[in-house]
Amino acid sequence: MTCFETFQAYALRSIGIGERLLPRSDFTLCDHFVLIGSGMIWNIYFALMALASGFFLATALAVAKGAANPWARKPAEWFIFVFRGSPLFIQFFFAYFFFLGLKGQYAFFDAFTAAWLGALIVLFLNTSAYSGEIFYGALRSIPKGDVEAADAYGMSGWPRFRRIVWPTMLRLAWPAYTNEAIFLFHATTLVFFSAFPAWQQRGDALYYANYFADKTYNPFIPYPILAMYFILFTLVIVGGFGLVNRHLNRHLPAERRAKIKYRPKLIR
């Protein structure tokens, strides 16, 4: 097989399009690159969907945690505590078996035991908790003057939040939120190594890298390729979030702008 044929056969293998059988022997470098790259589709899918949906819950959680009313504050505090205090790996296992139990009783939960939905829900809740804590911290460090100025203009309630508090919160939280996005992206590799099964060998990048390493007993080729893909996409995230950061800081003089520092903690 030429490399182009390999690409045609396996580029979309991870979502079930193309050749059904994975290569079994005589793995070429091209096989490695194409299949592991194909797996990246899942990592990107999980990261994008979880971040996009988690953003809103995170904002709600941050506001709730900062609220004076204990009926709003306590649940938010507990939610954040539970998801930040326990390993994501265990959360995946628990959620999977929880959905499995539900599936036994109600057919509706059929899809929840599949990775595309079940794992996505866990990642969504998890990133909401971590980002919620980041947003909460930012919410508390909004300059007093900004809010007073909003009051002086007669703004209150929703307009004040929408136009003053929320943009400032985002601006302050953005560097930390960028790191959270990077963690989450890296954490997506856990999905197929926890309980969620890779149906018909449709797995993520690490799943295929591990497949090659198991078959060839040579970790020195697939894992560096995987690392390369991840570093590449991490740079894309940093770049994309950097653009947003510039937009959020556009009204500030250059030296007061918050810089994004790449500081991931990586495991959750």
Which spans of this chain sit near another protein (rule: CB under 8 A)?
25, 81-82, 85-91, 93-94, 97-98, 100-101, 104, 186-187, 189-190, 193, 195, 206, 209-210, 213, 215-220, 223, 226-227, 230-231, 234, 264-268
Residue whose CB is less far from another protein, 86 or 141: 86
Residue whose CB is less far from another protein, 171 or 204: 204
- Of the candidates 127, 119, 111, the one whose C-alpha atom is nearest the C-alpha of residue 178 is 127
Residue whose CB is less far from another protein, 26 or 255: 26
* Nearest distance in Å: CB 96, another protein: 9
- Of the candidates 169, 160, 205, the one whose C-alpha atom is nearest the C-alpha of residue 186 is 205
* Nearest distance in Å: CB 27, another protein: 8
* Nearest distance in Å: CB 167, another protein: 28
**Is the distance from CB of 165 to CB of 62 less than 8 angstroms?**
no
* Nearest distance in Å: CB 64, another protein: 20
φ, ψ at 247 (rounded to 5°): -65, -45
* Nearest distance in Å: CB 191, another protein: 10
Residue whose CB is less far from another protein, 59 or 189: 189
Residue whose CB is less far from another protein, 90 or 149: 90
